[in-house]
Amino acid sequence: MTEHPDFSTSAPFEVARPERQTVPFVFNSPHSGSAYPQRFLDMARLDPHAIRRSEDCFVDDLFAGVTTLGAPLLKANFPRAYLDVNREPWELDPRMFASPLPPYANTRSARVAGGLGTIPRLVGEGQEIYGSKLPLEEAVGRIERIYKPYHDQLRALISATHRAFGVAVLIDCHSMPATIRLPETRIRPDFIIGDRFGMSCRSDLSEAAIAHLASRGYMVAHNKPYAGGFITEHYGRPARGIHALQIEINRSLYMDEDKLTPNAGYDQLRHDLAELAACLIDLFAPPAELPVAAE
């Protein structure tokens, strides 16, 4: 696959690897990328600060400690406003492009309607990214040269983990705006644990994440309003021993959303997330060998 011109001198994504993978876990941070190509910024009608409103700022760093626990971390360097790999590959809004979309494009999903397709139309509170229509080749290039290689890498990590351990657990790491409220109660959650309503992983994985975070004093919701996106749905196959869990973190816990800078809670949250990862990894630790009975 040829490189994309926007990332000809830097990698669009990378894998932080442990010295040796010792646990059946893969962590993924698909929305924390902050490398904004100048060519993309020149296309946008938003200023460089406003365009960062949909970025999961610092999430890759918050989970960086998982490598010391023996797990790899895949992280995007490209920003979510540029390309969203937590969507189907051709989940596109026809209103954004100067040419007709291919017939296999999914133009009718709720995410496309909300402006949040594979090539997003909006960031933040409904702010339009582009001032004019894009050539279709722009979407094709990002999807073929960055989206597909990203998923090839994620798939390879999961497959290698499954072969090595007989089971694989994908933890998909995200953050959410502080304005998010639970649908029924209007309570602001600190975390939302998503497992596609029990379809993407073993139930004890979700239960352990919720119980652990609640024991640390956090307000934790389950599946509402976020049950997991394309990545959780696509890769989670519990019947085959491949589990996928999405973690959404309230940004107010660790950052100033206006200044896009860490706040006083950053280090504590980073510590708590390392503890959470260790707790989940313990669920899949091999059982201790039983003593051999006397003849």
pLDDT in tens, 164-192: 999 999 999 999 999 999 888 889 999 99
Quick one: pLDDT at residue 261? Answer: 97
Judge if the upstream peptide bond of residue 24 is cis by omega within 30 degrees of 0.
no
Condensed to tens digits (0 to 9), the pLDDT of residues 6-44 reads: 999 999 999 999 999 999 999 999 999 999 999 999 999
**What is the model's pLDDT at position 31?**
98
- Look at residue 111 and tell me whether its pLDDT is greater than 70: yes
DSSP 18: -
Encode pLDDT of 43-95 as tens digits: 999 999 999 999 999 999 999 999 999 999 999 999 999 999 999 999 999 99
pLDDT of residue 294: 42
Q: What is the pLDDT of residue 36?
A: 98
Rounded Cα distance between 248 and 245, Å, is: 10
Q: What is the overall mean pLDDT for the chain?
A: 95
Confidence of residue 211 (pLDDT cuts 50, 70, 90): very high
Do 194 and 231 meet the contact criterion of CB atoms below 8 Å apart? no
State yes or no: pLDDT of 289 exceeds 70. Answer: no
Bridge partners of 261? 256
- Express as a percent the part of the chain with pLDDT over 70: 97
What's the pLDDT at 295? 38
**Residue with the two structure tokens 């040269």:** 145
CB 169 within 8 A of CB 201: yes
Picking from 96-100, 269-273, 284-288, which range would have the lowest pLDDT averaged per residue? 284-288
**How many C-beta neighbours within 10 Å does residue 67 have?**
17
Q: In this predicted structure, what is the pLDDT of residue 287? A: 64
d(CA 217, CA 258): 25
147 close to 118: Cβ distance less than 8 angstroms:
yes
The H or E element that residue 237 is part of is none
Q: Where are the alpha helices (DSSP H) in 84-147?
A: 110-113, 136-142
**pLDDT band at residue 292 under the 50/70/90 scheme:** very low
Which pLDDT belongs to residue 13?
98
Give the distance from CA 213 to its chain's centroid. 19
DSSP 146: I
pLDDT of residue 293: 43
